[in-house]
Each structure stands twice: as structure tokens, then as C-alpha cells.
Structure 1
Amino acid sequence: MYIRKISVLVGLAPLAMACGMSAAAAQTVLTVTHSSPADSHFGDAAVAFKDVLEGGTDGSVSVVIQRLDNEREALESVQLGSQECAIGSTGPLGNFVPETRVLDVPFLFNDYAHARGVLDGEIGQNLLAALSNYGLEGVAWLENGFRSLTTGSRLVESPEDLRGMKIRTMENPIHMQAWEAAGVLPTPMAFSELPSALQQGTVDGQENPIPVILSNNLDMMQQHLYLTRHVYSPGILVCNPDFVASLDDTQRAALTQAGAAAAAANRARVEKDETAGIETLRKRGIDVREVENRDAYREAMAGANAGFESEFGAETLQRIRNWSPE
């Protein structure tokens, strides 16, 4: 009797193990990276993405969130399939998908309603679809916000004061061309290198949206913040196309819903950080200056416009600038 019981248990053990292994194998693990702290606009997007995707698939897809500061590396990893998805800015995206560079043209959008309307409409959705030609699946447009300038000890009272200054930019040719036109020495570098560059004086300043400056404590390394709002900086959620194709219909539908949830959470956090963030930065000690004459910065960068019109077409740029709600 004793031997028989053992035999039965031993016989059941492989079956139990097989069932356990089968259940584990049935779960798909998705890694999504982003370039900001957990408590940030991208962090909120990642959490919303995880919650909706896992809930919409009854746990058959498990989402792992990781931080990766180098957004170019993240895009390369998604292309190669070594990670499934990534959340980040569009700064380096133009190096992979040239069509998206148009979104980085300075003073293209008037406000958030304008930018979101373009991205959520035909123009933005066509650009999102274009990613499929370059080994990426565009899931949803997110955002960083409007970019503003910060400097260390050097005070900037007009665009003329920027001449000869080294300003860290993203690895983005559109941003670099615009700053070059203004007489700046643009210094592209990965975001992960920025804090040490500011601390060591390798660069005189940098430009980023308020949510990025706030969540990464860049104000601790700078003395002045100028609300130039010269470029709207979109964000994006991308995935590997082969990974998306491997999902079943229910999982793909949940992925789309999760992308929409990520965008909503991201935009809500950007709005919160924009309204409260400037006052928080003031309280933390940085000198915040509203730029009354933004047209002066527009004119300073205007020397790059001919190149932008040549690359993207004057009609396309005008169509974006003239967008209005239907």
C-alpha cells in the first residue's frame, strides 16, 4: 500500500510539472523601457500600459517595466527584437524614420490642443503607420511637452546672448540645425550623459520640456530657466512588429487599448507637471523667466526654415501650422 501510494505520487509528479511548465510557457512576457524616473510622465504611461494590457489579456501577457536612458539604444533593441516595446521621445526617432522629423520643426505648433489634434488626426496617424517601413510598430503618440531652455551662470536676455554657447541637444538633426541658425554650438549627447556634462561645464545649458527638467532634477545643475517653448516634443510607444504579429487577436486588441491608456495617462501627467511644475521649480531655487518675445527666438532660428521646407515641403509644413478642429 505504501509502495503503491508512492508510485502514484511519482507518476503524478511529471504530469504536475508538465502542467506547470505548460501554464508558464503560455504566458507572454513583454519588456517595455522608458527614459525617465518611475514618478514621471513616461513612468505613468508605462504603468497604465501594463495595467490595461495585463487586465485585457487576463494575465496571458505579463509586462515588465525597465528604465533605459539611451533612447536610441532602446529603438535599436526594439528593431532587433531584443526587447518588445519602448516608450520615449521622438528625438532620436528621426534617425530611424525620417518622415517623423517634421514634428521637430521649431514653432510648428501653437499649443497642446494644436499638437494633439495633428498627432491624433490623419497626419499623425499616417506618420505612425510609416514606422512599419522601418522595422517598428507605432502603437501610440505620447508627449514630452514644449521644450524650454536652461543655462548655468550665463544669463540670456535675448537670442543674441546665445551666440557661441554650447547647448546640449538631442541627437536630432532638426534641433541641431535650428540652434545652429541661432548661432548656438549644438552639442548632441545621450540624455544619460547630460547631468555630468552640466556639472562639469562641458555644455553651457540644455533644453527640455518642464516635465523632464522636473522629474530629472536638472534645475539642481542650472541657474536659469527660460520658457521659450520653442519646440513641441512628442513621445511615442513603439513595439517590435514580429512580436505584435505573434499575439492573438485578443492580445492585439488589448495592446491597442493599452497604448491609448498610456497616451491618456501620459498627457494628463504632462498637463499636471506643466501647471504645477514651474512653480515647484521656482520654489526649488531656479530663476524662472517668462519669454515675452518668443518671436525673437522664432526669427533667430528662421535661417533653418529653407532647409526644412526643402526636406518636408512647404505645403506639408503649412498644412500642420494651419490645422484646426473640424
Structure 2
Amino acid sequence: MRMKLKSMLAGLMLTAVMPLAVQAEIREQTIRFASAGADGSPIVLGMHKFAEIVKEKSGGKIEVKVFPAGMLGGDMQTITSLQGGVLQMTTMNAGLLSGIAPDFALLDLPFLFSAPAEVDAVMSGEVGQKLAAELDPKGLVALSYWELGFRNLTNNRHPVAKLEDLSGLKIRVVQSPIYLDMFGALGANPVPMPFPEVYTALETGTVDGQENPAASILTAKLNEVQKYMTITRHTYNPQVVMFSKKQWEKLGPEEQKLLQDAAAEAGTYQRQLARDADAKAVADLKAAGMEVTELSPEELQRFRDKTAPVAEKFSASANPELVKLLNDTIARTRGGN
């Protein structure tokens, strides 16, 4: 009986000690997590969710401080900060990484995706893994894929109901070559600009319009300086959650696993939040006085046709095996819908 009691006590002690041993591998630290996303947007809400999960999983040892709305700089500046080890984390549109990992441009091909299920199949599968591997030599560690959603067009000049209505409009676009070519092909005058500068540029008339998901338009209050929105859904933006490789290599295995698990868990929450917010945001923008135009199927096809050469150009410069894998994955998912 005494031996059995000793054995039970030893087992209980081992059970109690193991979590403490694991916890001992987690050091007290602060992680700065930056984004150009507006406060209150699904992206920034996902960042706060990540911070909560990390705090819980680390027993309060790791604090994640969230810096939204470009507080620590625009997207390009943030990438440089991560590569230099000055900043630990960020999340941004995957296509913005095409400047350092060209194959990421594939995700911004016009009218590539038609439904979130296609994005999930691509980003959670082999395509997403191969793209993530391209970031490692660039000093970036991809932790998870979140999302911004389908992008739509707004402007303050007139409704855009047909292709010709875009002619000559100065449209702010993200700082990526594919967006310049896309809106140039549509007849607009694209102007690359960091997102934190967009509201003021619209307010002052520096640009006539911009393009973003409905939820981002609403949370950034762009409807205050934009009268017209057209549901174009021309691009779907996955977002990459990234960690500075220089800072990542300073972490122990337990810390790395904790952050990876937290990013994945927060990602499930964030993606659903973004999808729920999309339709509601369109309704809220209408209620706030924005004039919303739906393109006819025939007109939408004209948009597709005009941008098809842009898709062909950027596909031709990417890894052909990855292009085939991307197209096959989408076709397989679309066929199963």
C-alpha cells in the first residue's frame, strides 16, 4: 500500500512539474505587432485576438502590443523593420510581398478567386506552403494566413456602372506593380500610396477614388470622403502574418510553437470575422448614404476581359509549376462547390 501511494505521489508530482518545465521555457517579453489596418477592422480585431491567446498560453509572460493604422509605418516600411529585426510582427496583403518574393503576385491576379473556399484551399494547401518557404531567405517567417477579403472600387466623381466610367479617374492602389497594370488596363490613372495616407488624399482630392474590401472602407471611414462604390470584387486578398526571422531565431522551440499555434487559432477567428463583416459593411455603407452600384454580368465580363492580359503577364513571370498548382487547386475546389 505504501509503495502504491509513493507511486501515485510520484506520478502526481511529474504531472505537476511538466507544465512548469514547459512554462519555464517561456520567457517574459513584449512583442510589437503592427499593421496598416484601421482600428476596429477585422484585421486589427484578429491581432487583438492573437494577443489574448498568447497571453493565456504563456501564462501572462508574453505581452503582444498591437499597433494599428500604420502607427509604426506603412507596409513597405514595416517589412524593412522586420527584416532588420527592429520590429517583431506584422500582417499585410500577401500580394504586397511580390517585391521580395515575386510569386506572391499570383495571389493578386485580377478575378482569380470567386469564393472564400477557393482561397482556403490555396492558402492552407501546398501553394501556401511553397509561398511561405520563399519568405524565409528574405528574413521573414510566415506564421499564418489571414484575410482582408474581396476588394471593391469607390470614387467621389460619379457612379461607375460601366468600363468607360473609369476613364481618367485617379485611383489610389496598393504599392504593387500588378495593381498599377490592372487599373491602367481598365482606363484609370492608378496612384500607388500607403494606406494610412489614403483618407487625407481622398479628402483633399489628390486622388478621386480607391479600392478596398467593404469592411475596410467602413472602418477607415472612407465613406466620409467617398460618395460612390461599385461592387467589382476584382481581387481577393489573403493576408500573411509574419515574424522577423532575426527575432524568431532568438526564441526557444516552445515559444515558437506557442506563437505559431496562436496565429493559427486567431486566424480561424479572423477569417470568419472578415467574412461575416463583408456583407454587413455593404449594408452599413448604404445606410450611411453611399451610393452602391452592382455591375451587370455583361459589364463584369468586360472588366475581366480588359484585365486578362495583366493576369497573363504576371503568370508568365512566375514559377510555372506554382502557377499550374494554383490553377489546379482552384479548379478542383470550384468543381466541388
Match of 2:41 in 1: 40
Superposition deviation, residue 318 in structure 1: 4.9
Determine if contact 2:96/2:175 at 8 Å carries over to the other structure. yes
Match of 1:16 in 2: none
Superposition deviation, residue 33 in structure 1: 0.9
Q: 1:204 to 1:38 in 2, by over 3 A?
A: closer
* Counterpart code for 1:134: K
Q: Distance in 2 between matches of 1:203 and 1:223?
A: 13
Determine if contact 1:52/1:254 at 8 Å carries over to the other structure. no
Determine if contact 1:91/1:171 at 8 Å carries over to the other structure. no
Match of 2:279 in 1: 275
Q: 1:102 to 1:76 in 2, by over 3 A?
A: same
In structure 1, stretches of 5+ residues that fail to align are: 1-22
Q: Distance in 1 between matches of 2:288 and 2:324?
A: 40
Superposition deviation, residue 211 in structure 1: 1.5
- TM-score normalised by L of structure 2: 0.85
Match of 1:305 in 2: 311
* Counterpart code for 1:63: V
Superposition deviation, residue 151 in structure 1: 1.1
Q: Distance in 2 between matches of 1:37 and 1:96?
A: 25
Q: How does 1:169-184 map to 2 (within 5 A)?
A: 169-184=173-188
Q: How does 1:117-196 map to 2 (within 5 A)?
A: 117-196=121-200
Q: 1:68 to 1:196 in 2, by over 3 A?
A: closer
Q: Distance in 2 between matches of 1:288 and 1:311?
A: 36
- TM-score normalised by L of structure 1: 0.88
Of the structure 1 ranges 182-191 and 82-91, higher mean CA displacement relative to structure 2 is found in 82-91
Match of 2:84 in 1: 80
Q: 1:73 to 1:47 in 2, by over 3 A?
A: same
Superposition deviation, residue 119 in structure 1: 0.5
Length, aligned pairs only? 303
Show CA shifts across 1:68-116 (max 9, x none).
5211111111111111111222343222222211111111111111011
Superposition deviation, residue 243 in structure 1: 1.6
Q: Distance in 1 between matches of 2:100 and 2:107?
A: 14
Q: 1:305 to 1:65 in 2, by over 3 A?
A: closer
Q: Distance in 2 between matches of 1:261 and 1:274?
A: 21
Q: 1:302 to 1:102 in 2, by over 3 A?
A: same
1:61 maps to 2:62:
yes
Q: Distance in 1 between matches of 2:290 and 2:321?
A: 41
Match of 1:11 in 2: none
Superposition deviation, residue 59 in structure 1: 2.4
* Counterpart code for 1:125: Q
The 4+ residue runs of structure 1 with deviation greater than 4 A are: 313-316
Q: CA RMSD in A?
A: 1.9
Aligned with 2:159: secondary structure?
A: coil
Determine if contact 2:95/2:106 at 8 Å carries over to the other structure. no
Q: 1:154 to 1:264 in 2, by over 3 A?
A: same
Superposition deviation, residue 38 in structure 1: 3.0
Superposition deviation, residue 169 in structure 1: 0.4
In structure 2, stretches of 5+ residues that fail to align are: 1-23
Q: 1:313 to 1:65 in 2, by over 3 A?
A: closer
Q: Distance in 2 between matches of 1:310 and 1:89?
A: 22
Q: Distance in 2 between matches of 1:59 and 1:245?
A: 21
Superposition deviation, residue 219 in structure 1: 1.2
Q: 1:240 aligns with which of 244, 251, 255?
A: 244
Aligned with 1:312: secondary structure?
A: coil
* Counterpart code for 2:160: V
Q: Distance in 2 between matches of 1:314 and 1:166?
A: 34
Q: Distance in 2 between matches of 1:130 and 1:314?
A: 15
Show CA shifts across 1:34-55 (max 9, x none).
2223321111211121122222
Determine if contact 2:110/2:311 at 8 Å carries over to the other structure. no
Determine if contact 1:151/1:224 at 8 Å carries over to the other structure. yes
Match of 1:104 in 2: 108
1:221 maps to 2:222:
no
Show CA shifts across 1:108-167 (max 9, x none).
111111011100110011101211011101111111101110111222221122122211
Of the structure 1 ranges 315-324 and 279-288, higher mean CA displacement relative to structure 2 is found in 315-324
